[in-house]
Amino acid sequence: MDLREIGEFGLIDRIRKWMTASDPALLQGIGDDVAVIEMRDKVLLVTTDILIEGIHFKRSWIDPYRLGKKALIVNLSDIAAMGGIPKYFLISLGLPKNLPLPFISSFYRGLKERAKRFQVDLIGGDTSLSQKIVINICLLGEGGEGDLLFRKGAKVGNDLFVSGTLGDAALGLKILQKEGLMGRPKGLIEKHLSPCPRIELGQAIARHRLATAMIDVSDGLLIDTTHLLKESGVGARIWEDRIPLSRPYRKWINSYSEDPYQIALTGGEDYELLFTALPEARKKISTLTLSSKIPITWIGEILPQKEGFHIIRRDGKEYSPGRLGFEHFK
């Protein structure tokens, strides 16, 4: 069965049955002109991301279940970067008419898996015919006003930290491009297809007031660092040999790049958290590493803006990065 047989409204009816919502503050979910949410004295967080077939994913690489998960993950990561609580999402889909219904039901199963895991409800969307698959999610979240972490709070003398390891997803993509789904190791490919948003970690960093500014690393460490520096009006230095690399990354990087740090510095889609903190917070941050079981690594320091942004290599040589990472239209 494909979409031609059931049509737009047949599809929406099915989606409504697949995805039940339970939040009592949701007065009206799917099925009316708008969704209606009761608001209390909280701050509303809103973020949106688009995934386009051929640009962000290929159907031959990612199965619909993982695609559903990833569509939600990229948005969850933005709420994580604020230290917020994700709550509701809307999804707008552009779909080819010959798309088999099982593709969409698997896609929604992936969505539902992540929605349950991170306690968010689907509350609406839109559906249209399209030549290629287009997925747009708008995710709503909440936070306490004083609890949120912006890109703009970094101060001279702050430490710069990053969670997890870097470059795994980008190396996984390189392996996919060269070897396809049969490529090795599976773990790196999986990091590209199904990353994990740092929701609980972001909330813990915000709740314990450990950071002064935070951003998620979605486009690459260098480029996302420059976003944080620009918004804060500061410079920074990063020690290259402190950048956290996973064991499989270290093992496989030589087959894909002469420079072992290049992909970790510029590759995207790790969805780790990058944050700045006062030196006094170091001890609490290492405690958080232990309790969260997520490595948090001190990779650099914040400088006055006029000193710019440098990477210090292992041999002590400094350079200012040229190509920073991925940017659309470039």
Stretch that binds ligand ADP, among 66-74, 118-126, 180-188, 224-232 (CB under 6 A): 118-126
12 binds, among Mg ion, ligand ADP, none (CB under 5 to 8 A by kind): ligand ADP
Stretch that binds ligand ADP, among 42-50, 74-82, 121-129, 223-231 (CB under 6 A): 121-129
Pattern 101-140, binding to Mg ion, x per CB under 5 A?
-------------------------x--------------
What's the per-residue H, E or C state across 12-71?
HHHHHHHCCCCCCCEEECECECCCEECCCCCEEEEEEEEEEECCCECCCCCCHHHHHHHH
What's the half-sphere exposure (Cβ side, CA atoms, 13 Å) at 51?
A: 26
Main-chain dihedrals φ then ψ at residue 302, nearest 5 degrees = -90, 135
**Cβ closest to ligand ADP, residue 94 vs residue 325:** 94
| 32 is a site residue for Mg ion (CB under 5 A) | no
Minimal CB distance to ligand ADP: which residue?
A: 124
Q: How many residues bind ligand ADP (CB under 6 A)?
A: 13
Report, in Å, the least distance between residue 125 CB and Mg ion: 8
| 91 is a site residue for ligand ADP (CB under 6 A) | yes
Nearest to 149, CA basis, from 209, 199, 198? 209
Question: In the window 30-59, what residues touch ligand ADP (CB under 6 A)?
Answer: 30-33
Stretch that binds ligand ADP, among 40-48, 117-125, 173-181, 277-285 (CB under 6 A): 117-125
Do 253 and 266 form a contact (C-beta atoms < 8 A)?
A: no
Report, in Å, the least distance between residue 29 CB and Mg ion: 15
Report, in Å, the least distance between residue 277 CB and ligand ADP: 39
Between the two ends of the chain, the Cα-to-Cα distance in Å is 40
Q: Are strands 85-95 and 134-143 parallel, antiparallel or unpaired?
A: antiparallel
Report, in Å, the least distance between residue 50 CB and ligand ADP: 14
- Residue 157, sorted as left (phi over 0), alpha (psi -120 to 50) or beta, turns out to be left
C-alpha–C-alpha distance, residues 129 and 92, integer Å: 11
**Cβ closest to ligand ADP, residue 91 vs residue 214:** 91
Report, in Å, the least distance between residue 246 CB and Mg ion: 43
Do 84 and 142 form a contact (C-beta atoms < 8 A)?
A: yes
Q: What tokens does 205 get? A: 């960093």
**Cβ closest to Mg ion, residue 126 vs residue 179:** 126
Question: In the window 126-155, what residues touch ligand ADP (CB under 6 A)?
Answer: 126-127
Q: What tokens does 18 get? A: 């697949």
Which residues sit opposite 310 in a β-bridge? 237
| 125 is a site residue for ligand ADP (CB under 6 A) | yes
In the complex, the residues that contact ligand ADP under the rule CB under 6 A are 12, 15, 30-33, 91, 93, 122, 124-127
